[in-house]
Structure 1
Amino acid sequence: MEDLEVLRRAFEVGALASRREIIMGMQRFFVARLFLVGLLAQSALGQGAIEHRKFPPLKGPYVKLTDNFRDHTNFNVETVRGMASARDGTFYAINTHGSMLVWFADGNPEPAGNWGTLNNPVSLAVFDQLAFVVGGTTHALAVHDRFTGEILSVVSLPSEPGDLVIDETTSIAYICSQAENVVVALDVSDPYGIREIERHVVPGEAPRFLNLDTHPVSGERVLIVAPMLSGNNTVPRRGRSGVHVTLEAATGDIYNVSGLENGGLPDEDLIVLPLVGGVRPAQLSSGREAGTLMLEHARNPLTGEYWALTVDLHNDIAGQRGESELRGIFATNALSIFAPDALSAPRDLPDRIIDLDDEDPFTAGPQYSASSAVSFPYALTFVPETSSTLGGWGFIASSTGDRVAVLDPNGNRLGTLPLPAGAIPRDLIVDEMATSLGVYCWGTNEILVFLLADLTHPPIVLALGVDPTPASVKAGRAIFYDADPSLDGHVTCASCHVAGGSDLLAWKLSGLDDDQKDIMVTQSLIGIQDTPGYHWREERSVREFNGAFVGLLGHDEPLDESPGSELDNFVDFLFSLQPHANHEQSRRRVLDDAITPQVFRNGLSGSAVRGQDVFLFPTVLERPCGACHLPPSGTAGVSVADGALALPRAQTFGVAHLRQLNHRDQDIVVLSDPILGPDDVEIARGGFGLLHSGVVPDILAFAQGFKAFTPQQHADMAAYMHQYDQGTAPAVHVAIQLDVQGTEVAEERIRDLLLRQARRGWIDVVATGRTTVQGQPRELRWLYRPGPGGNEGVFEPDGISAPNLTLAQLSLLAQAGIANYVFLGLPPGNGEMWAHDRDGDGLGRQAEASLGTDPEMTDTDGDTFPDGYEVLHGSDPLVANASVNDTTPPVVAPGFPWLDHTAATFAKFFIECDEPVRLAVEASVAGGPTHQTMVRQPARRHTVVIQGLDRSFDGGVQNRYVATIRAIDLSGNETVSQLEFEMLEACRGIEALVVNDLQWVRTTPMGNTLDATAEILVEFERDAPFQLPAPGQVVVAQVFYRTDPIDPWRLVSNVNSTQLRQDFDIRTIEEDGAITVQEYNVLPGPFLLSPPTDAQGRTLITFNVPDPGVPPGGALELRLGIQAVLERSPGHTPAVPVFEYSSIEVWSMPATASEHRGVEFAF
């Protein structure tokens, strides 16, 4: 125990040199901890019933944290309410990308003013003399003077706020939180004394859109909320284990429970909340069965009907099993219309649902066209009923179709307004006089104003200003949100990966018939750069998802894969996506038991501090949880076997990271139905919870799946996972105002919460606001520069003539009434662009003004060189140049490249240079392959993750890599740096097998028949230079055919071969030593069984395929697909094959390269 305390203290002070020492420490103390915990467990069992005991709350550091270090961090904040009109005719908008409040006046398309506001504003409202801005990344509300832009006050909000609406009759603002599933009500009557009055829990996931409504029948004023991820009443049905069950029984299924006696899940799509002062009833009024993803909603002012936009997802199509069967048809973009008297009782149903993609609903059958589809209908507005000719007309923004649909008051389609490619419209507004329609284009960062009197007239363009998103990320964003190339223009990646995240549904996505899978919940794409590999089974690299554009979305062609083109841009966008911080962790980024004081469902309170110990140190298990779910992301980048499913291709799953668990940890609903099982079943409220199949309802249930732990340890681990760090410091979302009110308190908060974390490298700190200079107010932005040796530093202004000031000096100015600032936390590396160089061209605001360059364009003269780069090297930024006279290599900043962490298969590092650079990285181990990683988007700061590396092994086989990093500037000058790092060991208890070669050695076609022989190499899961052949293994294969490249593979049932067997048996040694032999039924035959691999791990499969029948115009292809690599049992013969059950999990399909899982032949 003394040694254990030494190790614990080493964790706390960061004394361990590497996490390899942590893992070794875990293993070293395994025996002692196992003995101790065993005694404690026996003692606990002897006490009978569990008694809840409170423990004094503890605080402690995380063992390992990570961040992302970039010039610009992309939280992908999707604007909710981007425009607002004032009664005096002035017009306001937020620039979500550029973090600005923009003011337009007198019909002028040029802004009358633009002012800094919270980071990535998401919603806006104008009331009286004020503009209210909700921050999307800064989780706060800023109150601006709408004429001067000055921020009068800032109020913290719950995590990931969304919509904002203000009841002007009571001066109460309502704001929803998409992470905490609440709506807060704020009294905004006094801009300097805003206070929270009420907080409503929303019984649904991710509420985004709000609407203040007066019910046309009852006259009651209410707030209607739409949980964006509302589910569709589908739940998982667990598969059955065992080799004797059929494929349909072994793999899970998706079951719609709306027909149950109690209506199944709540599935409430619209929820009616009382306004402040009202009484919340025991059961809220609601609307259900409107759709799966709920978007903007409002009441038609002419008809009184309630309109709700939705994307309805089809994950429960009868008989569907394969991905190809969902191609382009897995979503319907719809308008659900409720009758005027609806939404006054629980669970009201829509009066009708209109397929928005059907351009002519009066013609039999859907009339679809990509040019008119209303994909992902996001925003909705109406012409006021006061308009004599257009009253009640509706406009719907197709956010992934770049168009606006025009509908009559009954919901009938009248026409379409086309928008520029990549517009991605997010908000619509009709002015009170019903003369114009404003369209907020999030993708192109502009507002288009159409005249209602002539919608065919070209719109007026209102520019919102700079979008600092890197060019490749912008291009990738346009691909992600573009439905037009899909089948009939219906769907995009965003249809399921909502805002880059997850729809919280499971899907049946088998690759028929060759690659059968279990049901799988949509995984989030946010924060995946440092959590490889990808897909639940980790069988794909991120680039291999290109096939889904054709196979699932229905594109005619995959993305262009040439360097720097579509696929590179798409990957850049995906890898840019970063998660918000965990709202359940301390803002100080430490484990804090006081934050999770609730009693869990097992009757116990959990300690996150103790839970980290249980998670990371061996106790009753051979390896701790953290050996696989390795901090900081929660994954070591490896896969493990799941013994429940006797399907070799679906047996191995990647170790899932532990980020964004809070988004999948839902309330529990208990259902009873024979299809789900003989007993009551606990289901996550939205239908699907944790694990690949969603069958585990919440975090505690996941912890309880490990039966060896005590109930207290279950609670402790659950508390720890509730506070698991997301790779983003919570202080990134903090805003603190420093003005004449409460200056000393604010100063201490800034110093304690923001500056302290900036000195640790977790965040950047900036300030924006007013400073009075020579009697004139000036808007300045300031960037905090930490001092050397951990000392407090200074704030550097964006004005050339202003001096650097300390926080204490800024505080004195505020106390004297000379300054008013809002201090913001930002992700590390973001501060310089946010405070000094909004367009990222290397020039500050004052320098741009003196040079005449455009402060909102990186490259004013359009010659591909940033303005600052040209100025630095003596070129004119206003004259296009073919080249710049730069012969100086970039300088790598001191302390860089900096290795952040390694896992078993990837390494993450940061690098900073004195100028924008591209990166070319080559990592190799002696005698092994070289892994190349390219970063093509120039920037000064980069986060790089080298993927696909080879793990170290038990027994002293250490893989130590050398990474050569070439930093290349815009003129081609380069500087070379190196990093050395050692890979960690995998956590898998067995050494897996992989197929490392599969190729034809003979193919003899004759017409549509084929005689063929393929050679297969089976090795242990080790890469060069440590390969070891695996002799004595039998490869199980099947032959498939198709006659069209977009068709699924179908099993050939009439293969001829001496190696052919219709079935085989599996021998199982039970826990009590009993031996059973059963026929393997999980996959239907026939099978080709190879001879055992030789001493070099090689074997041959020979077969003949008769003509399967090819339709006219078809093109026959055959595929030999590997299904298993099995170990022979005692008594096995080629005539009566019997294999060991334990070998089902030995072949690692994900670790086998995709070209070695099957080989194809085209006639």
Structure 2
Amino acid sequence: MLPGPRPVARAQEFVSYETGQVRPLLLSADGSRLVAVNTPDNRIEIFAVAQDLTPLFSVRVGMEPVSLAEAPDGRIWVVNHLSDSISVVDINATPARVTHTLWVGDEPRDIVFAGQNRERAFVTTAHRGQNSPVDPAFNTPGIGRADVWVFDSTSLDDTPGGNELAILTLFGDRPRPLAVSTDGLRVYAGIFLSGNRTTTLAPDNFTKAAPTTSADGVAQPDTGLIVRFNGSNWIDELNQTWNGFVPFTLPDYDVFEIDAVALTEIRQVSGVGTILFNMVVNPANGNVYVSNLHSRNHVRFSGVASRASTSARGHVTDQRITVIDGAGARPVTLNKHIDFSNPAGTADERDRSLSTPLDMAVSSDGEILYVTAFGSGKIGVYDTALLENNSFSPDAANQIAVSGGGPSGIVLDEANNRAFVLTRFDNGISTIDLDTRLETAHLLMFNPEPADVVNGRPFLYDARVTSGNGNDSCASCHIFGDTDGLAWDLGEPDGSTVRIPNVFIPISPANGVTFHPMKGPMTTQSMRGLRGHGPMHWRGDRTGANRTGGETLEEAAFKEFNDAFDAFAGLGSELDDTDMQAFTDFAMRISYPPNPVRPLDNSLVGEQIRGEALFQSGVVRTQTGILEVCVQCHTLDPAAGLFGTAGLSADNSQTGEKNFKIPHFRDQYQKVGMFGWGFNSGPVTGPQVRGFSFNHNGATSSNFIIADLGMPQADLLALRAFLYAFPTESPPVTGQQVTLTSGNAAAAADRITLLVERGQVETPVPECDLVVHGVVAGESRGWSMDRSGSFQPDRAAESALDRSGLEALVVDPDDRLTFMCTPWGSGTRIGIDRDLDGVLDGDEAVP
């Protein structure tokens, strides 16, 4: 069946990135103010807390703020995940305002202050990004790909983007959580998608555990094999040893201890977890608690699997808090009450379970740990002594229900026996009485998200309504709607072969006519950017062939995942049509972030230019002498919303199963980090930061990818460079910022010019809506630029300004204007009319 009408790029008043919050709440050091990130509204909200929460100020920062930390001078530093920036906010000024915008690496996530006087800010980012001076070295094996940026908060000046003190590179993939020792002299940094010492062997007719045929008697195709390192050997589920098939090692460094003064690594800790969310230090004994998931991707198959001895059904991950002390890591499983031999679970098990543990807080005496269970709508309360020796019993009496759903952040106000909890599902804040352990109040922050985003979000995360035992949700693998960086062998041994209805490109017709139910290892794919990209899964086996009415193929294909709620999570049924429609509407909105390699002006440089030419003109495969033109299969048409695929399928000409949907290329830079077997060259040995890399099974190494085309080395590197800079639906400039002061006009001019130029682009599609916000003449103001370069104000009675007129408003040393590129179509909302009610922000009373 043909994919049907293709989407076109379009303006959107709201773009959903489904960014995971990290440290979204902060109680000021004097206990007088609560600060919360309003992630979807690109703001922080400031409240007085003397009695009930009282709104004071709403400050526009960067796009997708996720974390907060207070500097010694009382200013709040805000991590803007999509903007690759830090907003420094003076919350004691009237009105509160951004004073500096600091540029950092790609995807910053967490921030803490440490050092002799806690004057240094530490920020986790990926080892890449247009604002980073580091070379991402995508073709270099054995290097760290996790950065920690360090700033001295006492030496900020007007330099656009700031001046970092140091950038530390850690031997891991993308980092996320941070924590600080009680004395401030040690910083702990954790790797987000840290892995678990598993990898995939490429297909080679390996002996696998039974069954080896489908229920209708068709032999399983030759597929890869997931193996794991047990400390001595690489083994499979049959305990067969595969040491000779894995040329590299996976040290699995999860948490790094850093000297906050010398800025050097002290030690690395392994065995903490697969997905690391948050960390906190116990102030009494100095132990570090790490909320995490342990992924069980070494377990094969899904569903009932009556013909097999294993299935991941009902037990995809372990929800854990890992305790780190001087001796190393001691993982503690939170849901140890569950009898996983019964995947359907019981109501009692579900009531006592906690899913997706995120933010944590420890009482000042070190005796109680509070954990936000994002996928359970609860706060878990643990006696730390019992947690550390693993003698606690999961009990619903030691859990606090929050009404808003999706608790993602918590801070304690022990002086008033209360806690504040941010609930992401409804963008609210709950007040908790620590004595009664009851929610006493709930306040909603302004939320610009469309109803289909809000209504559908729980079906990604909420294990109470999507699983049998309350342990797992879709987000156990699709972390915040993205990927876990792992491969899973989740075939259905009880299934039969089914006909392939997908349309294949003429130059690569189908090789065979059926899908086999036992498909072998396949890496977790992102839920981002599904709209307009055809059937789903690597093979396209969620075909969308049975779409009805006005459904798109992608909507119909996504609904075919409904069986996964039982096959993986053990729910015992599928979602009803209304709930599945809500989940589908939510999923169709999630977008890819900007490419962090492509220059901010959306041009190409160096090898990328030649790489694009090769992508368009093709290369001759050495083995066959045939010209292979990448773009013939991998459609690239930003105006049509296509970024590497038009949703068609092809015979991939590889060993084993051959019929696959042509994949997009928006995520290639994320897969670098596993170097191993080469093409016509020796293997790369030594430690690697990832166990999975390219191709559907993750078995193709970063040094092998597309080398099998046999092109000259210079062409190979050029084509890779272009793929790593492949465009997404969000142009590179999306979210980028610069703050103008009365003293940095000349230094900020180039960056402002860049943002203005990108905001005036109209072809092939507009790249961004440029907005300006800040405080001038003692007032909080905003503007939105149109395509002509005219800045429309947030007050209807005022006239538009040109650039020079706008910049001329910055006169006083306290004046600040921050320029920011926002997604096409969102400029009016983000810049001048927050609620899109037609009454501009400057004309109505907005805190």
Question: After TM superposition, is the score higher than 0.5?
Answer: yes
Alignment of 1:823-842 (within 5 A): 823-842=819-838
Aligned to 1:160: 107
> Which whole-Å CA distance do the structure 2 matches of 1:745 and 1:255 have between them?
53
Residue 688 of structure 1 is aligned with which of 692, 696, 708?
Answer: 692
TM-score (norm 1): 0.59
C-alpha contact (below 8 Å) 1:683/1:695 kept by paired residues: no
C-alpha contact (below 8 Å) 1:743/1:814 kept by paired residues: no
> Which whole-Å CA distance do the structure 2 matches of 1:197 and 1:609 have between them?
33
Aligned to 1:705: 708
User: Unmatched 5+ residue regions in structure 2?
Assistant: 1-6, 129-145, 214-218, 235-247, 306-310, 497-516, 543-556, 621-625, 638-642
C-alpha contact (below 8 Å) 1:129/1:145 kept by paired residues: yes
Report sequence identity in percent: 23
1:629–1:249 distance in 2 versus 1, CA, 3 Å = closer
Amino acid at match of 2:479: V
Amino acid at match of 2:272: A
Q: Secondary structure at the match of 1:768?
A: strand
Shift of 1:808: 0.8
Residue 397 of structure 1 is aligned with which of 352, 372, 389?
Answer: 372
> Which whole-Å CA distance do the structure 2 matches of 1:178 and 1:554 have between them?
35
Aligned to 1:132: 77
1:326-378 per-position Cα deviation (integer Å, ceiling 9, x unaligned):
2221111112223x323xxxxx4x23x322123599xxx99961122110111
Aligned to 2:259: 274
Amino acid at match of 1:717: L
Shift of 1:241: 5.6
> Which whole-Å CA distance do the structure 1 matches of 2:609 and 2:399 have between them?
56
Residue 223 of structure 2 is aligned with which of 248, 251, 258?
Answer: 251
Alignment of 1:182-581 (within 5 A): 182-192=147-157, 194-213=162-181, 221-240=185-204, 250-260=222-232, 264-280=249-265, 285-317=267-299, 320=301, 325-338=311-324, 340-342=325-327, 348=328, 350-351=329-330, 353-359=331-337, 369-385=349-365, 391-410=366-385, 411=387, 412=392, 413=394, 415-420=397-402, 423-431=405-413, 433=415, 435-456=417-438, 458-463=439-444, 465-485=445-465, 486-513=467-494, 514=496, 515-540=517-542, 541-561=557-577, 565-581=578-594
Shift of 1:844: 2.7
Aligned to 1:608: 608
> Which whole-Å CA distance do the structure 2 matches of 1:755 and 1:459 have between them?
50
Shift of 1:213: 2.0
Alignment of 1:1062-1077 (within 5 A): none
Shift of 1:748: 4.2
> Which whole-Å CA distance do the structure 2 matches of 1:243 and 1:175 have between them?
46
Amino acid at match of 2:66: V
Shift of 1:261: 6.2
C-alpha contact (below 8 Å) 2:303/2:492 kept by paired residues: yes
C-alpha contact (below 8 Å) 1:152/1:192 kept by paired residues: no
> Which whole-Å CA distance do the structure 2 matches of 1:469 and 1:727 have between them?
19
Aligned to 1:39: none
C-alpha contact (below 8 Å) 2:676/2:683 kept by paired residues: no
- For the pair 1:642 / 2:652, whether they are aligned, the reply is yes
Alignment of 1:803-842 (within 5 A): 803-815=799-811, 819-842=815-838
Residue 119 of structure 2 is aligned with which of 135, 150, 171?
Answer: 171
1:823–1:288 distance in 2 versus 1, CA, 3 Å = same
> Which whole-Å CA distance do the structure 2 matches of 1:803 and 1:375 have between them?
52
1:533-584 per-position Cα deviation (integer Å, ceiling 9, x unaligned):
21001121222112212222222332232xxx32222122212111221111
Q: Secondary structure at the match of 1:658?
A: coil
Residue 97 of structure 1 is aligned with which of 40, 57, 81?
Answer: 40
C-alpha contact (below 8 Å) 1:468/1:840 kept by paired residues: no
C-alpha contact (below 8 Å) 2:355/2:375 kept by paired residues: yes
1:933-972 per-position Cα deviation (integer Å, ceiling 9, x unaligned):
xxxxxxxxxxxxxxxxxxxxxxxxxxxxxxxxxxxxxxxx
C-alpha contact (below 8 Å) 1:670/1:683 kept by paired residues: no
Of stretches 727-736 and 431-440 in structure 1, the one that deviates more from structure 2 is 431-440
C-alpha contact (below 8 Å) 1:422/1:482 kept by paired residues: no
Shift of 1:817: 5.8
Q: Secondary structure at the match of 2:537?
A: coil
C-alpha contact (below 8 Å) 1:177/1:207 kept by paired residues: yes
Q: Secondary structure at the match of 2:830?
A: helix
Shift of 1:206: 2.1
Bigger RCO (CA 8 Å, 6+ sep): 2
> Which whole-Å CA distance do the structure 2 matches of 1:813 and 1:846 have between them?
16
1:502–1:767 distance in 2 versus 1, CA, 3 Å = same
> Which whole-Å CA distance do the structure 2 matches of 1:401 and 1:443 have between them?
11
1:91-124 per-position Cα deviation (integer Å, ceiling 9, x unaligned):
2222112222222222342212222222221111
Amino acid at match of 1:379: D
Amino acid at match of 2:767: W
C-alpha contact (below 8 Å) 2:22/2:277 kept by paired residues: no
C-alpha contact (below 8 Å) 2:675/2:684 kept by paired residues: no
Aligned to 1:1151: none
1:682–1:629 distance in 2 versus 1, CA, 3 Å = farther
Q: Secondary structure at the match of 1:406?
A: strand
1:357–1:173 distance in 2 versus 1, CA, 3 Å = same
Amino acid at match of 1:702: I
1:179–1:549 distance in 2 versus 1, CA, 3 Å = farther
Q: Secondary structure at the match of 1:479?
A: helix
Aligned to 1:782: 783
Residue 673 of structure 2 is aligned with which of 666, 677, 691?
Answer: 666
C-alpha contact (below 8 Å) 2:706/2:716 kept by paired residues: yes
Alignment of 1:5-154 (within 5 A): 69-91=11-33, 92-105=35-48, 106-127=50-71, 128-148=73-93, 149-154=96-101
> Which whole-Å CA distance do the structure 2 matches of 1:535 and 1:98 have between them?
32
C-alpha contact (below 8 Å) 2:677/2:683 kept by paired residues: no
Amino acid at match of 2:579: E
Cα RMSD, aligned residues only: 3.0
Q: Secondary structure at the match of 2:381?
A: strand
Q: Secondary structure at the match of 1:153?
A: strand
Of stretches 482-491 and 837-846 in structure 1, the one that deviates more from structure 2 is 837-846
Q: Secondary structure at the match of 1:166?
A: strand
1:312-332 per-position Cα deviation (integer Å, ceiling 9, x unaligned):
111112x65768522221111
C-alpha contact (below 8 Å) 1:117/1:142 kept by paired residues: yes
User: Unmatched 5+ residue regions in structure 1?
Assistant: 1-64, 343-347, 386-390, 594-606, 672-677, 788-792, 850-854, 857-1163
C-alpha contact (below 8 Å) 2:301/2:491 kept by paired residues: no
C-alpha contact (below 8 Å) 1:668/1:685 kept by paired residues: no
Shift of 1:492: 1.0
1:695–1:437 distance in 2 versus 1, CA, 3 Å = same
Q: Secondary structure at the match of 1:374?
A: coil
1:641–1:484 distance in 2 versus 1, CA, 3 Å = same
C-alpha contact (below 8 Å) 1:739/1:819 kept by paired residues: yes
Shift of 1:462: 3.9
Aligned to 1:585: 598
1:243–1:134 distance in 2 versus 1, CA, 3 Å = closer
C-alpha contact (below 8 Å) 2:302/2:313 kept by paired residues: no
C-alpha contact (below 8 Å) 1:73/1:827 kept by paired residues: yes
Shift of 1:207: 1.0
Q: Report which of the two structures shows the higher radius of gyration computed on alpha carbons.
A: 1
**Number of residues paired by the alignment?**
726
Q: Secondary structure at the match of 1:730?
A: coil
1:736-763 per-position Cα deviation (integer Å, ceiling 9, x unaligned):
1122012244244312333344333110
Shift of 1:451: 2.4
> Which whole-Å CA distance do the structure 2 matches of 1:323 and 1:757 have between them?
53
Aligned to 2:737: 735
